[in-house]
Amino acid sequence: MANKIGFYTVVNTDTNEAKTEPLKFEDDPKSSRSFWIALLLLLGVVGWLVSGFILPAPPPSEESQSLSDRIIEPMAVIAETSIAKPVVQFFKNEGQALPDRDTTLRAQISGQISEVYVKKGEDVEANDVVAKFDTKELEAELERAQAELERAQREVENAIELQERGVATADRVSSAEAALAGARAQLAFAEDNLANTSITAPFAGRIETFELEPGEFIQVGSEIGRLVDNTPLTVAIQVPQISLGVLKNQQPARVKFITGEERAGLVTFVSTSATTATRTFLVEVEVSNSDGKIPAGISAEVEIPYGQVDAHFISPETLSLNEQGALGVKTVDDDNVVRFHDVEVIRATIEGLFVEGLPDEVQIITTGQGFVQDGELVNPQKGADN
């Protein structure tokens, strides 16, 4: 291939002389070869693309056809038939066992204790004497009050006689009569003290505390012990506002104590005024405790039946959440389409849950419900128990 010639100018910086010399270009044989290779590749790609329109595609293999069929088949799930049954509804809450009666024993008079008849922890009957005061001083006070009354009576008689004779004034008679009234009051007080020398139990129960010894002097109103009646017990629970309407007096109840004891009970009180702090209502359940085995103050769980509904018994694993976060159960209808039903848990047991919100008879998806959506076509299979 011929060389291509041009010209360029060279300037000598030392002499400032310009000199024109020829410029030569030579063709590279490798660049020409690359051009032809690129052209061949382009023609090959165009030919491959055109062949797809001209030549028919080969039929799909049996393996790929089977895979396609499996993809479009409905998903298999296990569904079991469930029929709603009547279920008793219960109100449940935690409470505390309280004594039926609880009182503080106090001294009715001032004086010295002469006798003590009970100890802490003993059972007593109503009107049993638990302690006695020494009566010597009280009897002496009674004699003095009687003597003072007699003197006051004589003073009134003398004042009246002198007034009739014109010697005494009306004021003297009034003063004598006032002294007589005071003497009568003092006598009544002395008689009352002597009548209250015995400290008695106001009702049958157990002496929980008792701090009194013979010879001890106590003042009127002093606390000497505590008497508790646990037969029956009263279990107090707090009921929220939303549940108050289902409870009423004389409803039967079941009480499970933390000790393991379980007893029947009866609702005896439903408050009509809410607690200010918690906005809950006090409800009391009376429980028989004639044997005294259940102590006061322990925790208890109360169950009160209040109604009956038709519900389905399901396993907790059957529950699902829809896209809105609602709790429900997925079922299969007659057309093998998945349906989501909102449900409400009526009662929870160790074995499972009772829920309402489903049709009376329904096919519940028990396996595979997490992989299908509401409205999806499925292939329901019977469970092992069906």
In a 10 Å sphere around its CB, with 0-12 CB exposed, 13-18 middle and 19+ buried, how is residue 290 labelled? exposed
Q: Strands 378-382 and 75-83, how do they pair?
A: parallel
pLDDT tens string for the chain (386 positions)? 444 445 555 555 555 555 655 555 455 555 566 666 766 777 766 666 656 555 555 565 555 555 555 556 899 999 999 999 999 999 999 999 999 999 999 999 999 999 999 999 999 999 999 999 999 988 999 999 999 999 999 998 888 888 888 877 888 889 989 999 999 999 999 898 888 899 999 999 999 999 899 999 999 999 999 999 998 999 999 999 999 999 999 999 999 999 999 999 999 999 999 998 999 999 999 999 988 889 999 999 999 999 899 999 999 999 999 989 899 999 999 999 999 999 999 888 899 999 999 999 999 999 999 999 999 999 999 876 65
What's the CA gap between 284 and 266, in Å, rounded?
8
Q: Residue 374: its pLDDT value, please?
A: 93
Measured at the alpha carbon of residue 116, what is the angle toward residues 112 and 117, in degrees to the nearest 5? 155
Tell which residue, 299, 292, 359, has the closest CA to residue 331.
359
Q: Strands 262-270 and 319-321, how do they pair?
A: unpaired
Q: Residue 4: its pLDDT value, please?
A: 46
- The length of the chain in residues reads 386
HSE-CB at 188 with a 13 A cutoff on CA atoms is 6
Q: Residue 6: its pLDDT value, please?
A: 53
Say if pTM beats, i.e. exceeds, 0.75: no
Amino acid symbol at 212: L
Amino acid symbol at 81: T
Q: Residue 363: its pLDDT value, please?
A: 95
Amino acid symbol at 237: I
Following DSSP, what letter does each residue of 310-346 receive, concatenated? EEEEE-GGGEEE-TT--EEEEEE-TTSBEEEEE-EEE
What's the CA gap between 96 and 236, in Å, rounded?
6
Q: Residue 362: its pLDDT value, please?
A: 95
Q: Which fold has domain 93-97+226-308?
A: Elongation Factor Tu (Ef-tu); domain 3 (2.40.30)
Q: Are 155 and 179 in contact (CB under 8 A)?
A: yes
Tell which residue, 209, 301, 313, 205, has the closest CA to residue 261.
301
Residues 6+ apart with CB under 8 A from 193: 109, 111, 138, 141, 142
Q: Residue 1: its pLDDT value, please?
A: 44
In a 10 Å sphere around its CB, with 0-12 CB exposed, 13-18 middle and 19+ buried, how is residue 97 labelled? buried
Tell which residue, 359, 386, 361, 341, has the closest CA to residue 82.
361
Q: Residue 204: its pLDDT value, please?
A: 93
Q: Number of helices (H) and strands (E) in the chain: give both, helices first.
A: 4, 22
Quick one: CATH architecture of 75-84+315-382?
Answer: Beta Barrel (2.40)
